[in-house]
Amino acid sequence: MKVEERPPAPQPPAEVPPPRVDWAEQARRFGFQLLAPFASLVLAAILGVLVVLVVQRSWADVADVASAMWDYGLMNPSSLAFIFGRATPFIFAGLAVAIGFKAGLFNIGVEGQYAMGALTAAVVGSKLSGPTAVHLPLTILAGMAGGLAWALVPALLKVYRGAHEVISTIMMNYLANGVLLFLLSGALKDPDQVGSIAQQRTAPVDPSAQVGSMVGFFNSLGFSFRSSAPVTWFFLLALVAAVIYSLTVRRTRFGFELRVIGTNPRAAEPAGIRTNAMFMKAMLLSGAVAGLAGLQDVLGIDDFMKLDYVRGYGFIGIAIALLGRNSGLGIVAAALLFAYLDRASSGIGLSTDVPKEVTYILQGVIILTIVIAYELVRRYLARRQLRETHERA
C-alpha cells in the first residue's frame, strides 16, 4: 500500500513589511466621497430656486424661502429639538434599509414593517403594565418582533422560492394597511373612542411603557427648547443603534459575512458562508430594526397607534441609506439633513407664499443625483487607480 504523501510542513511566512498607510491618499479619497453628496445638494438647491422662480416668478420669493429655511429651519430656539426628534425614526429606518443593502437585499418593506412594529408595541404597551424597567424594554422588543414578523414572509419567499424581495416586500406594505384597518377598526380599537369624531386607534399606552422627553436633558446643556418639543430618549437610542451597526458591520464575523454575500454571493458559499441563512438573518434583522422606527410616535408622542399614523419613514429610509452610503455616521448625517428639510418645509409653509411641498422636490432630486454622483466618483477613482497601477508597472 502506498504511503500517503505528507503535505510539506508549512513554512513560516516571509517577513512582509506592513503596508504603509498613505494618509494623504486616504484623505483625498475621503474628499472625493464627500464631493458627491455636496454636488448633489448644490444641484438640488439650484433646482429648488428654479422651481420657485417658475411657480412664483419673483426673486423676492426665493429670498423669502431662503430666509424661512434659515431662520425657522435652523435658528429658531427649538429648531434643533424638532430636527433631532424627526431624525430619530429616519435613523432607524435608514439603518434597517442599510442592513439589507449590506447583504445585497433591497428591503422596501420597512414601510409596512415599522407600522406592524408600532402596532405590536402599542398592544404590549397598553394591555400590560408593570415596572418601567421591565415593561418598557419588553414593549420595545415587541415592536422589533412586529417588524421582524413582517419581514419573515419575504425572507422565506426569497430563500425557499427564489422570489425577489422587492415585489414581495411591497406587497407586504399594502397587506399591512389591510391588517391595520382590520385590527384598529375591530379587535384592537380603543373602546373609549366613541362618538362621531372617534379615531380608529388603540387604547393608550400605559405610562410605564412611555418614553420621556429629552428636552430637560438638552436644556440642562444650555439649549432653550420649548417644553413640548418632540424629542425623546429614542433619539439617544437611535444614535446608539447607529454606533452598534457600524461596529457590527466592520468588526464582527457576522458583519463580514454580511458584506461578503452583499458584494459577491458566489464567493460566499465556497468560503463557508451559508448564503441562505445569512439572507434570512439579514432580512429579519432589517425588519427588527425597522420595527423601531415607529416607536417614538407610539411610546413618546401620541401614546397610541392610530390608523392615520405617520407614513413614509420607510421610503425616506431608503433615501437616507443611499445618501449615507450605508455607513452609521453617514446615515445619522443624512437623517439630520432630511429632518432639517422637514423642519424647513414647515417654515416655508408658515411664512412664504410658496407651497411647502417644494422640499419634496429637493428630496427627490437629492436621491436621484446622489446615486449618479457616487457612481461617477467611483468610476473616477477606479480609473485613477488603474492608471497609477500602470504607471508603477
Partner 1 sequence: MPEIVTQLIGIATIAAAVRAFVPLFLATLGALFNERSGVVNIGIDGMMIFGTWFGAWGALRFGAAAGLLVAVLAGTLVALIHAVATVTFRVDQIVSGVAINVLALGIPRFLSIVAYGQGTQSPAVLQLPKIDVPGLGEMSPLVPFTLLLGVAAWYVMNRTVFGLRLRSSGENPRAAESLGVRVVAVRYAGVLISGAFAGLAGAYLSVEFVGQYNEGMNQGRGFIALAALILGNWTVVGSALASLLFGWTQALTVYLEVSWINDAFIQSLPYIATLVVLALFFRRVRPPKAVGQAYEAGAPV
- Per CB under 8 A, the list member of 44, 66, 108, 148 interacting with partner 1 is 108
Q: Euclidean distance between the first and final Cα of the chain, in Å?
A: 51
Task: Choose among 375, 370, 329, 376: nearest CA to 42.
Answer: 370
Burial of residue 33 (number of CB atoms within 10 Å: 0-12, 13-18, 19+): middle
- Per CB under 8 A, the list member of 319, 332, 337, 344 interacting with partner 1 is 319
Cα–Cα–Cα angle for 384, 388, 393, nearest 5°? 150
What x-and-dash track marks residues 206-245 binding partner 1 by CB under 8 A?
A: ----------------------------------------
Residue tagged 373602546 (cell numbers)? 191
Residue tagged 373612542 (cell numbers)? 193
Q: Is residue 362 within 8 Å of 121, Cβ to Cβ?
A: no
Q: How far is the CB of 172 from partner 1 (least distance, A)?
A: 8
Q: Is residue 257 within 8 Å of 103, Cβ to Cβ?
A: no
Q: How far is the CB of 146 from partner 1 (least distance, A)?
A: 18
> Is 163 among the residues that bind partner 1 (CB under 8 A)?
yes
Q: How far is the CB of 72 from partner 1 (least distance, A)?
A: 19
> Is 159 among the residues that bind partner 1 (CB under 8 A)?
no
> Is 164 among the residues that bind partner 1 (CB under 8 A)?
yes
Q: Give the total of residues touching partner 1 (CB under 8 A).
A: 43
Q: How far is the CB of 74 from partner 1 (least distance, A)?
A: 22
Q: How far is the CB of 373 from partner 1 (least distance, A)?
A: 10
C-alpha cell at 263: 458584494
Q: What is the DSSP string of 56-80?
A: H--HHHHHHHHHHHHIIIIISTTHH
How far apart are alpha carbons 323 and 104 in whole angstroms? 17
Determine how many CB atoms are found less than 10 A away from the CB of residue 63: 12
* Residues 6 or more apart in contact with residue 370 via CB below 8 angstroms: 36, 37, 40, 322, 323
Please, which of residues 354-383 interact with partner 1 by CB under 8 A? 355, 357-358, 360-361, 363-364, 367-368, 371-372, 375-376
Q: How far is the CB of 186 from partner 1 (least distance, A)?
A: 8
> Is 170 among the residues that bind partner 1 (CB under 8 A)?
yes
Task: Choose among 354, 373, 232, 381: nearest CA to 298.
Answer: 232
- Per CB under 8 A, the list member of 118, 322, 332, 335 interacting with partner 1 is 322
> Is 106 among the residues that bind partner 1 (CB under 8 A)?
yes
> Is 123 among the residues that bind partner 1 (CB under 8 A)?
no
Find the radius of gyration of the CA atoms of the chain: 24
How far apart are alpha carbons 32 and 375 in whole angstroms? 12
- Per CB under 8 A, the list member of 98, 110, 140, 318 interacting with partner 1 is 318
- Per CB under 8 A, the list member of 7, 12, 178, 195 interacting with partner 1 is 178
> Is 50 among the residues that bind partner 1 (CB under 8 A)?
no
The residues binding partner 1 (CB under 8 A) are: 55, 106, 108, 153, 157, 161-164, 166-168, 170-175, 177-179, 181-182, 185-186, 312, 315, 318-319, 322, 355, 357-358, 360-361, 363-364, 367-368, 371-372, 375-376
